[in-house]
Amino acid sequence: MDRGVTSRRSFSYDRFPDAPLVVNGVHSPVLIGGTGATREAVVFVHGNPDAGSDWEPLMKHVAEFATVVAPDMPGFGDADKNADHDYTVAAYAAHLGGLIDQLGNDRCTWSPMTSAGSSR
């Protein structure tokens, strides 16, 4: 038996499953998948005016070795678009923190897109 060889599990996604989470009354669908540790994740955060699903092509590759998470942030994608919601950077950070807490992730690697304008 060769102990230096590690077998890789065969892996592919056609579409990531969607977890409908709610943080402070705001519905925010989150794409989740991958083969990594359950309490660790690579978190893909979309920019303005995008959605979590924009990350799917890259998520498919990262999911081969890690847990991947891509939420729709408030006001974007299929997340709630409440007129009275606080759309500041601090409010987005709090929302993202609430999502991560609900998912039970203790350790995250972040992959953000720009929110300064369109990332397309």
3-state secondary structure of 60: helix
For Cα atoms 68, 38, 2, give the angle at the middle one, nearest 5 degrees.
95
Asked if residue 3 belongs to a domain, the reply is no
- In a domain? residue 41: yes
Task: Tell me the CATH number at 52.
Answer: 3.40.50.1820
Say if 37 falls within a structural domain: yes
Q: Identify the pLDDT of residue 5.
A: 34
Which pLDDT tens digit goes with each residue over 41-56? 999 999 888 999 999 9
Query: Would you place residue 13 in the very low, low, confident or very high pLDDT band (cuts 50, 70, 90)?
Result: low
- CB of 30 within 8 A of CB of 46? no
Domain that holds residue 87: 18-112
Specify if 83 maps to a domain: yes
Does 35 reside within a domain? yes
Q: How is residue 5 annotated by DSSP? A: -
**Count of structural domains within the chain:** 1
Residue 2 within any structural domain of the chain: no
Answer yes or no: is 118 within a domain. no
Strands 67-71 and 26-34 come out as antiparallel
Rounded to whole angstroms, the Cα distance separating 50 from 33 reads 20
pTM: 0.80
